[in-house]
Chains A and B, each alone.
Chain A
Amino acid sequence: MIKFEHVNKTFGDHQALSDINTTFKAHETTVIVGPSGSGKSTLLRSLNLLERPENGLYHFNDQTIDFAKPITGKTMLNIRRKTGMVFQGYNLFPHLSVVKNVMEGPVQVLKQKPAAAKQTALDLLDKVGLADKADAYPGQLSGGQQQRVAIARSLAMNPEYILLDEPTSALDPELEAGVLRVLLALAQEDNSMIIVTHNMEFARAVADKILFVEDGKILFDGTPNEFFKQPTQRISDFLAAMTFTTISDKAK
Chain B
Amino acid sequence: MDSIWHIIVTSAPQIAVAGLKYTIPIAIISFIIGLILAVFTALVKLSPRHGWFSILKAIAYFYVWLFRSTPLLVQLFIVYFGLPYLKVKGLWPNGIQLDPWTAGIATFSLNTGAYCAETIRAAILSIPQGQWEAAYSIGMTKSQVLWRIILPQAARVSLPPLSNSFISLVKDTSLAASITIIEMFEVSQQIAAENYQPLVMYSLVAAFYAILCTILSWLQGYLEKRTSRYLRPLN
Contacts and interface: CB of A to CB of B under 8 A. Distances in A.
A80 B133 contact: no
B133 to A, nearest CB: 6
B140 interface: yes
B233 A139 contact: yes
Q: Which 6 residue pairs of A and B lie closest in terms of their CB atoms, listed nearest first? A: A105-B138, A91-B134, A85-B137, A91-B130, A137-B230, A81-B139
Given A50-B133, A87-B133, 12 more contacts: A48-B137, A80-B137, A84-B137, A84-B138, A85-B138, A93-B134, A93-B135, A105-B139, A108-B140, A108-B144, A139-B232, A154-B138
A82 to B, nearest CB: 9
A77 interface: yes
B136 interface: yes
Given A137-B230, A139-B230, A140-B233, A94 B137 contact: no
A162 to B, nearest CB: 11
Given A95-B153, A95-B156, A109 B133 contact: no
A80 B183 CA distance: 56
A50 B138 contact: no
Nearest to B135: A93
Contact-size category for B:
20 to 34
A157 interface: yes
Contacts of B152: 95
A141 B231 CA distance: 11
Interface in A109-159: 109, 136-140, 150, 153-154, 157
Interface string B131-152: 1011111111100100011001
Interface of A: 48, 50, 73, 77, 80-81, 83-85, 87, 89, 91-97, 104-105, 108-109, 136-140, 150, 153-154, 157
A80 B139 contact: yes
A41 B214 CA distance: 51
A131 to B, nearest CB: 16
Interface of B: 128, 130-131, 133-141, 144, 148-149, 152-153, 156, 229-234
A161 to B, nearest CB: 12
Given A50-B136, A104-B148, A87 B141 contact: no
A79 to B, nearest CB: 9
A157 B234 CA distance: 28
A139 B231 CA distance: 6
A50 B133 CA distance: 7
A105 B138 CA distance: 6
27 contacts: A50-B137, A77-B141, A81-B139, A84-B138, A85-B137, A85-B138, A89-B130, A91-B133, A92-B134, A93-B131, A93-B134, A94-B230, A95-B152, A95-B153, A104-B148, A105-B138, A108-B148, A109-B144, A137-B230, A139-B230, A139-B231, A140-B232, A140-B233, A140-B234, A154-B137, A154-B138, A157-B138
Contact of B231 (A48, A94, A105): A94
A222 B232 CA distance: 47
Contacts of B153: 94-95
A109 B138 contact: yes
A105 B149 CA distance: 11
Contacts of B138: 80-81, 84-85, 104-105, 109, 153-154, 157
Contacts of B133: 50, 85, 87, 91
B227 to A, nearest CB: 8
Nearest to B134: A91
Nearest to A153: B138
A104 B147 CA distance: 13
Nearest to A89: B130
A80 B229 CA distance: 31
Contacts of B128: 91
B230 A87 contact: no
Contacts of A87: 130, 133-134
A137 B152 CA distance: 15
A140 B234 CA distance: 6
Contacts of A89: 130
A89 B140 CA distance: 19
Contacts of B130: 87, 89, 91
Contacts of A73: 141
A112 to B, nearest CB: 13
Contacts of A95: 152-153, 156, 230
